[in-house]
Copies of this chain bind each other. A is one copy, B any other.
């Protein structure tokens, strides 16, 4: 790999200086070091040492990349911590440690990942918040860094993945609501370019079509994936000239806010509007009880970790049965809301 030479030419600095800067030697001034590190990021340079550590499994660390920020985790997290717990259970068997690579919503996820890889952080990586097109997949594949994705993407580099069965959730939700007489069914579209939004709405459309129903654009509610987002959806429903009689939430973080918002505009879940969502520790406290999809986040974490390890030479032999690609089933827990 000629990366360091290219970097040196790009910066018009000697290879020796670039090398010393990358390796944290004290005899490089701070300004030069920063220029080198920034260029290394831009050019997608992976330090030899880091690359070697990653390929040989020498860091002892698995990185789990997740998005953070006021709009995403501003009111806490009710998903990843439990997944981490499952991942850690597996890693502990091998004296591997888990670190959460926290990518702020103000960062470009591709740049962030390149930087973390350049820093030589992890033997393997779990990616979440997969986008419709996701350059991170190609980057990691190119650098031969073992990884698994929690979520799919149109980008496919033959990496292992586990994704929640959003198709199954869409099918069951639509069938249940249509059977109960609903003809105007709304959906909440999670933020940004996440792949799951496309998967979910596409399958909802198909399921509706089988009943001769169409999904109206005005019944797709775009919002942030947090309580405030759910709250805003309630307001939008109330303000709609042709409101849906039922709503499906693909994201577990929206439910509590939606309930609060509906309460304030005088709509009762299960009576005035059917609500199907995702179960969570918080949802247990809602009244009327939520009808929603549930899964074991800990089991999901265990499967993610075992699948990742099965792609790493040092551990592959231990996990011959690990899942390679799987739609993770969710179970419908019937409540009173829809």
Contacts and interface: CB of A to CB of B under 8 A. Distances in A.
Contacts of A227: 281
A55 to B, nearest CB: 8
Contact of A119 (B60, B82, B116, B282): B60
B88 A68 contact: yes
Nearest to A280: B76
Given A37-B60, A84-B73, A99 B97 contact: no
A181 interface: no
A49 to B, nearest CB: 7
- As for how many copies of this chain the complex holds, the number is 2
Interface residues of A, number: 60
B99 A100 contact: yes
Given A81-B76, A82-B73, A102-B100, A58 B38 contact: no
A69 B53 contact: no
B37 A24 contact: no
A81 B74 contact: yes
Interface stretch (A26-34, A143-151, A160-168, A267-275): A26-34
A112 interface: yes
Interface string A73-93: 111111101101100100010
Interface string A105-119: 011000010011001
B88 A98 contact: no
Interface of A: 23-26, 30, 33-34, 37-38, 49, 52-53, 56, 58-61, 63, 68-70, 73-79, 81-82, 84-85, 88, 92, 95, 97-102, 104, 106-107, 112, 115-116, 119, 121, 227, 256, 259-260, 280-282, 284-285, 298, 314
